Structure 1
Amino acid sequence: MHLAELNIGRFKHPVSDPRMAEFMDNLDRVNAIAERSPGFVWRLKGDNNNATEFRVGEDMAVNLSVWADAKSLETYVFKTVHVQFYKKREAWFDLMEKPHFVLWWVPEGHRPSLDEAYSRLQRFESEGPSEEAFGWTEIMDEQRMRTLRCA
């Protein structure tokens, strides 16, 4: 099984606004790092090589990708240049009061649709963590348990 992730957010400004320039100017660079990262499998992208043209729910921008495992995703998110942009996300995205990130397992070779991904996020929001939809806390707890069992 592979790990799928959906992350959504509402842009604070139109993508053409100068206040979005740092984010937009670095999308190709950050996405290229993802694609070169160990464990990367697939990401949703449009004709512009990113996902800025896609929307779900109440006009939410999306990031949808598949990874070999949680450790690969965690390494990319927190141990590459991506983390610099993650730390500045409030400059480009409105704060969300409800869940905006979800993980779930998919069979190898499966590429989740945006509808499938958004339904997982809605399930996570309405029902909380489950085998069908979960967050960082649950996947990190699972990784810790695997490590302990193997030790």
Structure 2
Amino acid sequence: MRDHRLAVYTFNQFVAPYQSDRIRGFREAEPGTFLAIENAEGFVARSGYEGEEGPSSWGEQVFPHCWTNSNGDGWAPSTLSLWASLEALMAATYQGPHGRALRNGKDWHVPADHIPEYVLWWVAEGDTPDWAEAVGRFEELMENGPNPRAFTFKTAFDPIGKPYKPDVARMKDLARQTAQKS
């Protein structure tokens, strides 16, 4: 997997407009969560958002066809990033500030059992996906289920398309390494 990076696109919809009191906990956690993710073992890079401070955007941000803009603010929580391994992403996702925010997600996000919250896929080292590709992979997962082009932690594949079981011990080790850096 040395010549590949794991891409991840996350998507959700808020239960209220981003600037509302209902989403305040998310807004307050967001800067620290992004910082923790960027400092996590195995983090490679993330897209920023057009017109905002931080990393540059990897193309024009678009949303999946399932997005309804029900809040009317034209915004939905989504991220696009690259990781060294599935285990590194899992460690950062379920531990630390992101893990805490994830556990509070039910307070901020619209429940949608038929819509995935994320999609994973492999890219060649040196390649950077854009938002349109990410949404395409997300929609592929939503329409076809996990496959080597669009998968999840639960049903993962390696870069050549073989089923892959994450190394839990490696994930825990990466989480410990990240915690020691904090």
Q: Name the TM tier (shorter chain).
A: 0.7 to 0.9
Deviation at 1:72, TM superposition (A): 0.5
Pick from 135, 152, 169: which aligns with 1:118? 135
> Per-residue CA shift, 1:19-44, capped at 9, x if unaligned?
11111012111100011111001112
CA distance in 2, matches of 1:61, 1:81: 16
> Would you say how many aligned residue pairs link Structure 1 and Structure 2?
145
Normalising by structure 2, we get a TM-score of 0.72
CA distance in 1, matches of 2:128, 2:103: 28
Pick from 14, 18, 24: which aligns with 2:17? 14
Are the aligned partners of 2:148 and 2:156 in contact in 1 as well (CA < 8 Å)?
A: no
Amino acid at match of 1:44: S
* Residues 1:142 and 2:164 aligned together: yes
Deviation at 1:15, TM superposition (A): 1.2
Give the direction of change, closer, same or farther, for the CA distance of 1:11–1:25 in structure 2 (3 Å limit): same
* Residues 1:31 and 2:48 aligned together: no
Residue identity over aligned pairs, in percent, reads: 24
CA distance in 1, matches of 2:91, 2:117: 20
Equivalent residue, structure 1, for 2:118: 101
Give the direction of change, closer, same or farther, for the CA distance of 1:83–1:115 in structure 2 (3 Å limit): same
Deviation at 1:81, TM superposition (A): 2.1
CA distance in 2, matches of 1:8, 1:14: 15
| SS of residue paired to 2:135 | helix
Are the aligned partners of 2:62 and 2:135 in contact in 1 as well (CA < 8 Å)?
A: no
> Per-residue CA shift, 1:36-73, capped at 9, x if unaligned?
1110011121214489xx55032443111110001100
Amino acid at match of 1:86: L
Give the direction of change, closer, same or farther, for the CA distance of 1:30–1:45 in structure 2 (3 Å limit): same
**Consecutive unaligned residues in structure 1, runs of 5 or more:** none
CA distance in 2, matches of 1:144, 1:71: 6
CA RMSD in angstroms, aligned pairs only: 2.3
Give the direction of change, closer, same or farther, for the CA distance of 1:93–1:55 in structure 2 (3 Å limit): farther
More helix by share: 1
Give the direction of change, closer, same or farther, for the CA distance of 1:49–1:14 in structure 2 (3 Å limit): farther
Normalising by structure 1, we get a TM-score of 0.86
Are the aligned partners of 2:87 and 2:166 in contact in 1 as well (CA < 8 Å)?
A: no
